[in-house]
Amino acid sequence: MSAELPSDAPAYDESISSGGFRLTKQRREVYEVLLQQRDHPSAVQVFNRAQRKMPTISLATVYNCLETLTQCGLVRQVNFDRGPSRFCPNTHQHGHFICTQCGGVHDVEVPDVAELSRLWRLPDDYVVNHHEFSLRGLCPHCADNPASVTP
């Protein structure tokens, strides 16, 4: 179900310099945090993880790095209806499955636009230039462990 990042993931150094940005240790660290655990963390979660290796990094710096990485196209910012923005290092076309119980976010593959247009019988003269998919439900773990009603 998960869309794996292919081995030809954009080269960090290239993307960052073609975006006209300086390669800083902090930016690399933030990017690595995102690559290591692909659970679509929020900026605060990225900050907590980055701090383990880089204790002096500040939350403001993390926000900054995430913004730069997003601008360079290395990272995608994903917004769901509630909660803070989440960050995803999978820049290929994909949708998200959101677990309504634990809040987990998983990448899902989506067919290409031409195929979707056919499936949805979109008349030929419509031009699609953006699409976003999210599915909601329970992840395998939560499906096996339904939330008990708290007293």
Contacting positions for Zn ion (CB under 5 A) = 88, 90, 99, 101-102, 104, 107, 139, 142
61 or 90: whose CB is closer to Zn ion? 90
Instruction: Tell me how far, at minimum, the Cβ of 3 lies from Zn ion, in Å.
Output: 8
Helix, strand, coil percent content, the chain, rounded in steps of 5? 35, 15, 50
Q: Which residues pair with 141 in a beta bridge?
A: none
65 or 139: whose CB is closer to Zn ion? 139
Instruction: Tell me how far, at minimum, the Cβ of 86 lies from Zn ion, in Å.
Output: 8
Instruction: Tell me how far, at minimum, the Cβ of 69 lies from Zn ion, in Å.
Output: 14
Burial 8-26 (b: 16+ CB within 10 A, else e): eebebeebbeeeeeeeeeb
Can you tell me which residue has the tokens 């773990």? 141
Report how far residue 43's alpha carbon sits from residue 55's, in angstroms, rounded to the nearest whole number.
Answer: 16
Quick count: other Cβ atoms within 10 Å of Cβ 148?
6
29 or 89: whose CB is closer to Zn ion? 89
49 or 86: whose CB is closer to Zn ion? 86
Instruction: Tell me how far, at minimum, the Cβ of 121 lies from Zn ion, in Å.
Output: 28
